[in-house]
Structure 1
Amino acid sequence: MKHISAALGALAVALLPHAAMAETRPMTAQDLVTLKRLGAPAVAPDGQTVVFQQVDTDPVTHKRTPGLWRVPARGDAATRIADLPEAGESSPAFSPDGKRLYFISGKSGRDQLWFLDLTDPAATPVQASDFKADVAGFLLSPNGQRVLVWGDVARDCPTLGCDSDGNTSEPGPGTGRLYRDGAGFVRHWDSWETPGNYSRGFALALAADGKVTGEAAALDGPPGTLTGDTPSKPMGGAEELAWQADSNGVFFAARQADRHEPISTNLDIWHSPLDGTAPHNLTAGNKATDTLPAASPDGQWLAWAAMERPGYEADRLVVQLLNLKTGQKRALTAGWDRSVSSLAWTPDSKALIATAQDVLDTPAFRIDIASGKAQRLKLAPKGLTEANVANVVPLKDGRIVFTRDAIANPAEVFIAAKGKPGTQLSQANAATLAALTPVSTTRYSFAGAQGATVWGQIHKPANATAKLPVLLFVHGGPQGSYNDSWSSRWNPALFAAQGYAVVSIDFHGSTGYGQAFTDAINRDWGGKPLEDLKKGLDAALARDAALDGTRTCALGASYGGYMMNWIQSEWADRFQCLVNHNGVFDNRGMAYSTEELWFTEWEHGGKPYHEAPEEYEKWNPASRVAKWQTPMLVVLGEKDFRIPYSQGLGAFTALQRKGVPAELLVFPDENHWVLKPKNSLQWHQTVFSWLDRWLKAGK
């Protein structure tokens, strides 16, 4: 990638979508945890009404409650709908005839399917299912006569929930679990596995009264045919399942659960005819990831996204197209150097609307199925960047409903007419955001490692008059991006509001810049990325005189936490302090204790540690502790099985034995992320206190 001139690369935008106002105040961590959180919108078949999930957080107890809100597509105030007090409602979906709104609620004591009769203004919600297991998600069939539900049940259970959970670990008189040879995952993300229990999908009929009825048809067929999780764990959802147009079958993504699962990214697209016969693997020839199945409304096409390289979770996702009538397959976007993150058909079945990271935005693209050409769409309101577009719903008249979030604001619901800028429909956080002092951001580019163009951003209080201490944010992944999107965890606007300038850099390995740029970090964790960070910070200091380069701290989580450990020895004299959240400390320990083994093996040359120890040791922070000298705050979650907490504990022990000032913050009830509101408050209080100690004391 060649360097783009700074004149073209620099872009300054206002972070908060309002002008500076009198009597505004800086954003706080309390604001971050209590801002309303919106989910994917559902649109009525006539296109006139939008319903979305909104999660509210009590400002005193910090209890979170999801609810459903309705807003006219033409624009007006949103109103609460289908309210079940003390229960919460989520995952709204209109029936194809528009007469009912289905959703999930735990009102009965378990998460079940409910609906609201939209033809009766006085109607109250009705429970539509009574399974023995929680309903994790559902999809209504195109003809409205069936529903697909999924949840965790035993592999031999014929429906969603049986008396037994299928546990085959044979508990004895004690509390021990026995995992036999070849068990595959024994723990994943933040949970120990229950052998014999999987996330499974079932199709059932809907009676005339709207309730679930009849026998269930299991997507995975009879026991012994396919054993695995649908959707995939831990992050999979409704995007991994799709009804075929005639409602007689379901396409879904699944990976065989066996001894190879921890080293396999071979998620496949399967088809289940729902007649009791075994499902059929449509992508058996590809040993890498196949996901995001999407069936065209006219019944002719199946689209999905596929990677090419087995074992590589960050490979490019290329849109594939299967003609369901002729069986002909083709790679639709093979010539487009972007990786899609979602797919939705236009109602006329002539195009797909996809989202994909593109430099510092995640916009929507229209992909013509005849030519494969991807056209970037302008959906954001006039004057705003595309930022992070998601949850796209194309309508029959060419309009598109979607959510948009940015560094400036959490997700809100928008609608855009064909060829016109979008209009914001929801105003869930408008009042709170209007009361906050604006923060500004500047996009900039510079020549990074090997002369490649690398992008960064500078965030700072818009009203700052004095020079600002600088925070360098390093993103995780490592194949990720600090792009223009909202974060409820690592939020640069919140840190800037505390009186800091925040610099973030999309170093080699980041996504949204083409696959070669993403691949550049493979086997080079401490090489080009560190060079980019050094050059990027220098470029930020050179372009903005408000940044005080004599007062700097660096922060990062996951790979970003690894980089904090690496900086300790390789950039030791630059920072007054570091913050390492769940970062890798010892590559050998990580290789033998993480759960998704494919990740560490790919990143370090494709072999396990015992076959190529030199690959792992080349970039191993634990082998360079002798040079550590920078004060560090270490944060870890005891339920983090991705980067086990012993990694953070090891870093803290190294600091203590070296006599380097350090603090350790441990969350016994958090995983790789800090998700609980009160824990988030404590996290921010601790981190801010640490930063202030080293950057503001005596200033």
Structure 2
Amino acid sequence: MKKHLWALSALAATLAGQAVAKPLDVNDVINLNKVHSAVIAPSGNAMVYGLKKDGESNLYWQDLTSGEVRQLTSVKGTEHDLTFSQDGASIYFLADRGQGTQLYRLSLSGGEALAVTHLPIDVAGYKLAPGGSKVAVQLSVWPSCDTLACSVEKRGELDGKKSTDKSYDQLFVRHWDTWADGFVNHLFVADIKDGKAGDVVDLMQGQNTDAPPKPFSGMEEVSFNNDGSKLVYSAKAPGKDHPWTTNFDLWEVDLATKATQNLTSDNTAWDAQPTFSPDGRYLAWLAMSKPGYEADRYRIMLKDLRSNQVRELAPQWDRSPGSIQFASDAKTLLVTAQDTGQYGLYAFNVDFGDMKVLSRDGAVGQVSEGAGRVLFSKNSLDKPDDLYLVDKDGFGLKQLTQVNADKLKDLDMGDFAQFSFPGWNNETVYGYWIKPVGYVEGKKYPVAYLIHGGPQGSFSNRWHGRWNAELWAAAGYAVVMVDFHGSTGYGQGFTDSIAGDWGGKPFEDLQKGLAYIAKQEPWIDADNACALGGSYGGYMVNWIAGNWNDKFKCLVNHAGLFDMPSMYYTTEELWFPEHEMGGTPYDNAPMYDRWNPAKFVKNWKTPMLVIHGQKDFRVPYSQGLGTFTALQRQGIESRFVVFPDENHWILNTENLKVWYKEVLGWMDKHTGNQAPKANGK
């Protein structure tokens, strides 16, 4: 009967002439319009963006003065990775229009898009040289091949092989969700003449290394200098140490001679995102300083190409940038970074290092600049992405799009607020609460205690496609999220503090945070709560099961770490556990033992839902199976849900519906939550 309550209340409101708003559900999240690939014209007077709407994605042009909008494309498929031509008359993009993914150019004065590349291999990414005379493209090739035809032939041989064996002489054997097959990302460069790319030249011929690096990096790791004579990219040197080193360097290629040099050989930590100033004066990039540590603070480095002097920009700014790019004035560096539960946009003067805040609240995503005007996307806990405009000096902020106005007007969202409390060692720790949709003063609500992964991460004030906190609020839960010690955006010392202390400071923060906010907000019923998390959040769920077993009505563990020694031997990026646990299991067994959830399974008694993707190579599904086995063998109420086609994340929309149905059903069962659900869920 519960599933009909929302429908009946909606009908009653309709009959009474009241406006009806329904709680958000997973179908709403999936079906939202999604803005992507936004770029501003060099003049700053117009923008082009992609919009996925009702299952189709097309490009739109918008005048930034009048607001006039016109649709540019209507071809099946998704155009993405947009770039304006230097004169603003054309737009470049990647699309698959029957010949694999290729680079296209579309004149904004009319006509059809014309293919710039005609390659036998998909173009995974591209970067135009200033002026558009050259293009760099990312292609997946067999490293020893000297022609694309050779790589195509090699791919055909592998696909046509009758046996199913895979053989390896070195790691990586698999990475993220893909078994290594011998193909690597290489960068190729071609001249562009009369709108067409000529023959491509492999800049990494014979190198068994990836550029851009797998699995998530893109062409932000590649940059032409201002006259197109050189190209710089981030990559590891060829070798067998890739799974346990974070030593990415910047490599400069002279495009005339093909001579390559390592620009950052003196730094054995991570160097990334090279970018040249438009006037050719500076090369900027991001650099970590601790080898083997993926969550170290990125420093903004500047090399004066006239004097060859290198310095750090704004060394006292204790935040780690997510992206950098020069503005067209060559004096301003646009930077995104997490800061105290937000993901902001900042403008730095490269001469003096002074900073201006362009956007702080919410979460900034893509950024593009033209003639001093900065276009960016932004979302928040209760709002999906839209596009915004601001001057590089921080003035004139305005919202440009409302791509989901019609879809959101009939949806209720829970009110939210950030809070802080004295956590471990009485140090200030931040978090968020969200009120359940339909909140009634004086009523107490069961708690969904969301624990983020990483562990160097943060749920933050942002809209999430998978772990969408508003969905628990819509289901009638008080949502609580704490950015415990180890979280990002609170200074590097705070982030570093979790290393070697996985079940220590963060665990204490989680205990204190829930007790604090329940006392401050009496509608939060901390005695009727479920804790849930993914990855490190799943680790913490397992840790809670053995070390705080009298607090929660239920637990939900998605892709959580269960047994630390076996996790080390079956994961892929070994630098991560080696840093976090202070070495390998054979060199530092006491640390792996100290923070091993499997050590405490005899204390487990709380009902737990375990979820895992079978293609998860970061936290292999054997970790979830081990968790479930420990529960079942002890007779603890438990359920195991496996998605054979999913990796560390749930990406298939039908699977995501099942995920939320399983999670909310499990929590409702154990908390007695009777809140009405939209769409009968």
Length-normalised TM-score, structure 1: 0.91
For residues 8-407 of structure 1, the aligned pairs below 5 Å read 22-56=19-53, 58=55, 65-74=56-65, 76=67, 78-84=69-75, 86-119=76-109, 121=110, 123-158=111-146, 162-165=151-154, 174-180=163-169, 183-195=170-182, 197-208=183-194, 210-213=195-198, 215-220=199-204, 222-223=205-206, 226-375=207-356, 377-379=357-359, 386-396=361-371, 398-407=372-381
C-alpha separation in 1, matches of 2:394 and 2:287: 30
Deviation at 1:158, TM superposition (A): 4.4
Q: 1:613 maps to which residue?
A: 589
Deviation at 1:696, TM superposition (A): 2.2
Work out whether residues 471 and 502 of structure 1, in 8 Å CA contact, stay in contact via their aligned partners in 2: yes
C-alpha separation in 2, matches of 1:509 and 1:579: 21
C-alpha separation in 1, matches of 2:476 and 2:306: 61
Deviation at 1:71, TM superposition (A): 1.6
Q: 1:463 maps to which residue?
A: 438
Deviation at 1:280, TM superposition (A): 1.2
C-alpha separation in 1, matches of 2:411 and 2:107: 40
Work out whether residues 637 and 666 of structure 1, in 8 Å CA contact, stay in contact via their aligned partners in 2: yes
Work out whether residues 77 and 426 of structure 1, in 8 Å CA contact, stay in contact via their aligned partners in 2: no
Residue ranges of structure 2 left out of the alignment (5+ in a row): 1-17, 676-681
Q: Among all aligned residue pairs of Structure 1 and Structure 2, give the percentage whose two residues are the same amino acid.
A: 39
Deviation at 1:109, TM superposition (A): 4.0
Deviation at 1:188, TM superposition (A): 0.3
Does residue 542 (structure 1) correspond to residue 523 (structure 2)? The answer is no
C-alpha separation in 1, matches of 2:387 and 2:148: 33
Compared with structure 1, are the counterparts of its residues 22 and 603 closer, same or farther at alpha carbon in structure 2 (3 Å cutoff)?
A: same
Deviation at 1:163, TM superposition (A): 2.5
Work out whether residues 85 and 132 of structure 2, in 8 Å CA contact, stay in contact via their aligned partners in 1: yes
- Aligned to 1:441, which of 411, 416, 435? 416
Letter in 2 for 1:431: D
Deviation at 1:167, TM superposition (A): 9.9
C-alpha separation in 2, matches of 1:79 and 1:659: 62
C-alpha separation in 1, matches of 2:444 and 2:148: 60
- Aligned to 1:533, which of 493, 510, 514? 510
C-alpha separation in 1, matches of 2:122 and 2:513: 48
- Aligned to 2:624, which of 636, 645, 648? 648
- Aligned to 1:499, which of 456, 476, 494? 476
Deviation at 1:168, TM superposition (A): 11
Work out whether residues 70 and 78 of structure 1, in 8 Å CA contact, stay in contact via their aligned partners in 2: yes
For residues 577-596 of structure 1, the aligned pairs below 5 Å read 577-596=554-573
Letter in 2 for 1:72: D
C-alpha separation in 1, matches of 2:227 and 2:485: 45
Q: Secondary structure at the match of 1:357?
A: strand
Deviation at 1:533, TM superposition (A): 0.3
C-alpha separation in 2, matches of 1:286 and 1:83: 48
Q: Secondary structure at the match of 1:322?
A: strand
Work out whether residues 378 and 386 of structure 1, in 8 Å CA contact, stay in contact via their aligned partners in 2: no
Q: 2:611 maps to which residue?
A: 635
Work out whether residues 155 and 166 of structure 1, in 8 Å CA contact, stay in contact via their aligned partners in 2: no
C-alpha separation in 2, matches of 1:281 and 1:272: 9
C-alpha separation in 2, matches of 1:77 and 1:662: 55
Work out whether residues 126 and 136 of structure 2, in 8 Å CA contact, stay in contact via their aligned partners in 1: yes
Compared with structure 1, are the counterparts of its residues 678 and 502 closer, same or farther at alpha carbon in structure 2 (3 Å cutoff)?
A: same
Q: Secondary structure at the match of 2:641?
A: strand
C-alpha separation in 2, matches of 1:298 and 1:561: 48
C-alpha separation in 2, matches of 1:303 and 1:32: 38
C-alpha separation in 1, matches of 2:257 and 2:32: 46
Deviates more, 1:286-295 or 1:65-74: 65-74
C-alpha separation in 2, matches of 1:187 and 1:596: 10
Compared with structure 1, are the counterparts of its residues 257 and 582 closer, same or farther at alpha carbon in structure 2 (3 Å cutoff)?
A: farther
- Aligned to 2:426, which of 445, 451, 457? 451
Per-residue deviation, residues 636-678 of structure 1 (Å, max 9, x unmatched): 0000000000000100111000111111111100100001111
Compared with structure 1, are the counterparts of its residues 649 and 419 closer, same or farther at alpha carbon in structure 2 (3 Å cutoff)?
A: same
Deviation at 1:276, TM superposition (A): 4.5
When the two chains are superposed, the root-mean-square deviation of aligned CA atoms in Å is 1.9
Q: Secondary structure at the match of 1:366?
A: strand
Deviates more, 1:170-179 or 1:531-540: 170-179
Query: Aligned residues, how many?
Result: 654
C-alpha separation in 1, matches of 2:394 and 2:536: 40
Work out whether residues 457 and 488 of structure 2, in 8 Å CA contact, stay in contact via their aligned partners in 1: yes
Work out whether residues 446 and 673 of structure 2, in 8 Å CA contact, stay in contact via their aligned partners in 1: no
Deviation at 1:148, TM superposition (A): 1.3
Q: Secondary structure at the match of 1:650?
A: helix
C-alpha separation in 2, matches of 1:288 and 1:531: 31
Per-residue deviation, residues 262-307 of structure 1 (Å, max 9, x unmatched): 0010111111122252321100111100001110000010000100
Q: Secondary structure at the match of 1:164?
A: helix
Q: 1:382 maps to which residue?
A: none
Q: 2:491 maps to which residue?
A: 514
C-alpha separation in 2, matches of 1:261 and 1:52: 36
Deviates more, 1:319-328 or 1:167-176: 167-176
Work out whether residues 71 and 425 of structure 1, in 8 Å CA contact, stay in contact via their aligned partners in 2: no
Letter in 2 for 1:217: V
Q: Secondary structure at the match of 1:439?
A: coil
